[in-house]
DNA sequence: GACTTTAGGTACACGACTGTAGCTTATCTG
DNA sequence: CAGATAAGCTACAGTCGTGTACCTAAAGTC
């Protein structure tokens, strides 16, 4: 080892974790389209050869990192607080979306060639939740308990919260808790017929 | 001219239009991050030197194309049909978003480095409309005429329609007219207190 | 301490894109 | 028709990423 002689040499899991972290950072900076083995290796401070021993191309590294990322937290509707639980479910969504894995998924979804490259299994595993899971879990829970008719949970209604959060994120301004409360009060609750606004 | 001897040689506007069209196609295929002078020139069937004579880099070509693209159609609220006008405004939005220019703007907005490269003037000119313009124009029109209180047009409410359309587009399924009607009936109208659903 | 595994490093040929220079020639203008 | 303009083409040196081969030495195993 000529220069840059690091005393310790990472192996196995430790090394792989570093590479996973590196690829997630890299994709945020350059986008899916410009991921390179070079860039990943540089950021993880490892040789390209090491990467090629395990993965055939940069996308494979990225998908592997996502596969091993922490799963999405599920909203768990509590006692008797529809409004609060909706807000909390959107908070979970925001939290996940701002995490490295969440932002990487967003990068793939918005890349022209992103989704084509993803295997079907991974789509199931990682991407399935992105849909209407967050608020609709909560909505179904309260509809079953008679707080409002289940027929109100149409595909459109199930997406309102997520859609508005996505819009805010695309606009570059992650929603605050107050924004989330507004979304619940001014969009979701009216849509299910529970307009408890005081206008 | 050695091989590929084209009888006609394009000049001026004709050539530039071809280049503009080429860059818009190119960005849809490869994304903002992978735009190259090579690719644009290849697609427009022109020499790279011709491109360099006019633009310093691929992004400049793209922005110039957007600058010269047809502007966004504005929704024009009609006589007395809030629901119909809302649907029409969303139809305009979908139409624009699916156009080459619209999709190119989306590509820039979702690119990690996309927005940074855009000059402020162009943001004003091209991107300003993307916000809540479509439905909120209609909403303001009818609020002024007393169909519902203007105080209902909060930032959240103004974004509901656009947000849901964006969500559908991100999911890869451009909304049909029936979808747009559902969005209006099940999300926008309830939010402004005009729940004319028959559930 | 010897042996296996595997990360780190160097080197190389290949291909894509860059930015510039310089030439040829089609097209437009007066 | 003559001259000016600008598009088309070729060439080239430089940069960056690719994928592979091959060597070295650190980290683990017995």
pLDDT tens digits along A22-48: 999 999 989 888 999 999 999 999 999
**A189 or B172, greater pLDDT:** A189
Mean pLDDT computed over B2-22: 78
Contact yes or no for A30/B112 (Cβ under 8 A): yes
Shared-domain flag, residues A55 and A104: no
pLDDT at B191 over 90: yes
Which one, of B194, B164, B167, lies nearest residue B180 by Cα?
A: B164
Nucleotides in chain C near protein beta carbons (<7 Å): 6-11, 16-22, 25-28
Do the Cβ atoms of A171 and B111 come within 8 Å? no
- What is the predicted pLDDT for the residue at A186? 95
Is B117 inside a domain boundary? Answer: yes
Shared-domain flag, residues A58 and A105: no
Shared-domain flag, residues B21 and B98: no
- Residues A141-167 pLDDT 10s: 999 999 999 999 999 999 999 999 999
Domain of B17, CATH number, reads 1.10.10.60
pLDDT at A121 over 60: yes
Residue where a domain terminates, one of B24, B44, B67: B67
pLDDT at A69 over 80: yes
Do the Cβ atoms of A182 and B154 come within 8 Å? yes
Mean pLDDT computed over B88-112: 88
Q: Closest nucleotide (CA of B18 to C1')?
A: D7
**Rounded Cα distance, B195 and B178, in Å:** 18
- B43 Cα distance to chain centroid: 22
- What is the predicted pLDDT for the residue at A117? 72
Q: How many CA atoms lie within 13 A of B136 on its CB side?
A: 17
**Rounded Cα distance, A94 and A92, in Å:** 5
Mean pLDDT computed over A84-101: 91
Q: Which residue of A has its CA nearest to B156?
A: A183
**Rounded Cα distance, A159 and A41, in Å:** 39
**Cβ of residue B199 lies below 7 Å from strand D:** no
DSSP code, position A128: G
| Pair of tokens at residue B37 | 């002078």
- What is the predicted pLDDT for the residue at B25? 94
- A61 Cα distance to chain centroid: 18
Categorize the per-residue pLDDT at A199 as very low, low, confident or very high, splitting at 50, 70 and 90: very low
**A123 or A15, greater pLDDT:** A15
Residue where a domain terminates, one of A21, A42, A68: A68
Do the Cβ atoms of A166 and B170 come within 8 Å? yes
Query: A176 at the B interface (CB within 8 A)?
Result: no
- What is the predicted pLDDT for the residue at B116? 72
CB atoms within 10 A of CB A27: 30
Shared-domain flag, residues B169 and B88: yes
- What is the predicted pLDDT for the residue at A35? 93
DSSP code, position A185: I
Mean pLDDT computed over B131-155: 87
Shared-domain flag, residues B165 and B86: yes
Residues 6+ away with beta carbon under 8 Å from B185: B83, B196, B197
Helix (H, G, I), strand (E, B) or coil at B31: coil
Is B3 inside a domain boundary? Answer: no
Judging contacts by C-beta atoms under 8 Å, the chain B residues touching residue A149 are 199
Query: A196 at the B interface (CB within 8 A)?
Result: no
**B3 or B168, greater pLDDT:** B168
Is A120 inside a domain boundary? Answer: yes
Residue with tokens 């805010």: A168
Query: B71 at the A interface (CB within 8 A)?
Result: no
pLDDT at B123 over 80: no
Which one, of A173, A170, A97, lies nearest residue B127 by Cα?
A: A170
**Rounded Cα distance, A66 and A74, in Å:** 17
- What is the predicted pLDDT for the residue at A189? 94
Distance to chain A for B1, nearest Cα, Å: 36
Task: Show the domain range for B44.
Answer: 12-67
Is A5 inside a domain boundary? Answer: no
- What is the predicted pLDDT for the residue at A198? 44
Categorize the per-residue pLDDT at B6 as very low, low, confident or very high, splitting at 50, 70 and 90: low
Shared-domain flag, residues A118 and A170: yes
Do the Cβ atoms of A157 and B183 come within 8 Å? no
Shared-domain flag, residues B101 and B17: no
Q: What is the length of chain B?
A: 199
Is B7 inside a domain boundary? Answer: no
Judging contacts by C-beta atoms under 8 Å, the chain B residues touching residue A164 are 156, 159-160, 163
pLDDT at A72 over 80: no
Structural domains in chain A (count): 2
The percent of residues in chain A predicted with pLDDT above 90, rounded, is: 47
Residue with tokens 């070079």: A38
Query: B150 at the A interface (CB within 8 A)?
Result: no
Is B75 inside a domain boundary? Answer: no
Shared-domain flag, residues B113 and B158: yes
Mean pLDDT computed over A6-20: 84
A28, A152, A162 ranked by CB distance to B112: nearest: A28
- What is the predicted pLDDT for the residue at A40? 96
Domain of A139, CATH number, reads 1.10.357
**Rounded Cα distance, A88 and A92, in Å:** 6
Q: How many CA atoms lie within 13 A of B95 on its CB side?
A: 14
Mean pLDDT computed over A93-113: 86
Query: B146 at the A interface (CB within 8 A)?
Result: no
Shared-domain flag, residues B129 and B167: yes
- Residues B41-86 pLDDT 10s: 999 999 999 999 999 999 999 989 988 888 777 788 777 889 999 9
Which one, of A180, A155, A159, lies nearest residue A169 by Cα?
A: A180
**Cβ of residue B46 lies below 7 Å from strand D:** yes
pLDDT at B141 over 60: yes
pLDDT at B198 over 50: no
- What is the predicted pLDDT for the residue at A89? 92
Q: What angle do CA A85, B139, B133 make, to 5 degrees?
A: 90
Is B74 inside a domain boundary? Answer: no
A112, A159, A190 ranked by CB distance to B167: nearest: A159
Q: What is the DSSP string of B116-154?
A: GGS-HHHIIIIIGGGTTHHHHHHHHHHHHTTSS-GGG--
Q: Which long-range contacts (CB under 8 A, 24 or more apart) does A108-114 make?
A: A108/A32, A108/A62, A109/B170, A110/B106, A110/B110, A110/B170, A111/A31, A111/A32, A111/A33, A111/B31, A112/A33, A112/B28, A112/B29, A112/B30, A112/B31, A112/B107, A113/A32, A113/A33, A113/B30, A113/B31, A114/A32
Mean pLDDT of chain A: 85
**Rounded Cα distance, B16 and B11, in Å:** 8
Judging contacts by C-beta atoms under 8 Å, the chain B residues touching residue A155 are 182
- What is the predicted pLDDT for the residue at A80? 85
Shared-domain flag, residues A45 and A137: no
DSSP code, position A195: -
- What is the predicted pLDDT for the residue at B171? 80
Query: B151 at the A interface (CB within 8 A)?
Result: yes
Shared-domain flag, residues B17 and B107: no
Query: A44 at the B interface (CB within 8 A)?
Result: no
Categorize the per-residue pLDDT at A53 as very low, low, confident or very high, splitting at 50, 70 and 90: very high
Shared-domain flag, residues A45 and A122: no
Is B121 inside a domain boundary? Answer: yes
């Amino acid at each position: 080892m000529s220069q840059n002689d690091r005393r310790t040499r990472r192996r196995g899991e430790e090394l792989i974790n570093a590479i996973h972290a590196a690829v997630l950072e890299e994709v945020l900076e350059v986008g899916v389209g410009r991921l390179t083995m070079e860039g990943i290796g540089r950021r993880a401070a490892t040789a390209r050869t090491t990467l090629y021993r395990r993965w055939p191309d940069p996308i494979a590294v990225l998908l592997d990192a996502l596969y091993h990322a922490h799963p999405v937290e599920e909203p768990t509707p509590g006692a008797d607080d529809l409004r609060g639980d909706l807000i909390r479910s959107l908070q979970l969504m925001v939290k996940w979306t701002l995490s490295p894995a969440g932002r990487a998924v967003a990068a793939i979804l918005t890349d022209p060639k992103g989704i084509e490259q993803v295997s079907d299994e991974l789509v199931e595993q990682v991407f399935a939740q992105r849909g209407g899971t967050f608020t609709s879990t909560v909505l179904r829970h309260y509809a079953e308990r008679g707080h409002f008719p289940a027929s109100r949970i149409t595909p459109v209604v199930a997406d309102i919260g997520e859609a508005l959060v996505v819009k805010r994120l695309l606009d570059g301004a992650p929603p605050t808790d107050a924004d989330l409360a507004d979304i619940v009060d001014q969009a979701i609750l009216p849509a299910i017929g529970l307009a408890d606004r005081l206008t």
